[in-house]
Amino acid sequence: MPLQTKTRILALDYGKSRIGVAISDETASIALPLCVLPQINRDKDLKAIRGLILEHEVALIVMGLPKRSESELGPAAEHIMRFGKRLERFCGLPLEFIDEFETTVEAEQVLLEADVSRQKRRQAVDKLAAQVILKRYLDAHKEPEA
């Protein structure tokens, strides 16, 4: 389904201790890294994400879902799906899952090629992984050019 114009999309890379966040521009054509949220507890995490949604006028949430293979979910996938469903209800927005296979590896590679120090890579990798998730989503939903 093609994306409507004037639609901001928020992407989440939900990790064990941090949540990487990326956002699209208003035309849903460019993916930008936004921030990294520390995981505190479910209620505070939901409220922090809702705050970003309200601040940036988001219309859709996309979450990365770890898979072992094309059809087999990874061990963290069920936990992420439960959190995603809670987030969807809490924020009242549609939420879609997208395969996040090797998004962190791709983000780390970009940072290595940019010669970013190990300390700064650790701080940036989660939001860049969220950016990769969002870029994949946007590419998959791009309107065909006339």
**CATH of 8-140 among 3.40.50.800, 3.30.420.140, 3.30.1360.120, 3.90.25.10:** 3.30.420.140
Model's pTM, two decimal places? 0.83
pLDDT at 125: 74
Among left, alpha and beta (phi > 0; psi -120 to 50; other), residue 6 is left
The sign one gets for the Cα dihedral 41, 47, 49, 52 is negative
From first to last of its 146 residues, the chain has per-residue pLDDT tens of: 444 445 899 999 998 899 999 999 999 999 999 999 999 999 999 999 999 999 999 999 999 988 776 677 777 888 999 999 999 999 999 999 998 766 666 666 766 666 666 666 666 778 888 999 999 999 888 776 65
pLDDT at 54: 96
With b for 16 or more beta-carbon neighbours within 10 A and e for fewer, the 46-79 pattern comes to bebbbebbeebebbbbbbbbbeeeeeebeeebee
In 10 A of CB 110, how many CB atoms? 16
Domain layout of the chain by residue ranges = 8-140
The conformation of residue 105, written as its DSSP 8-state character, comes to: H
Cβ contact 68:92 at 8 Å: no
pLDDT at 68: 72
pLDDT at 1: 44
pLDDT at 117: 67
Q: Which residue has the tokens 């970003």?
A: 52
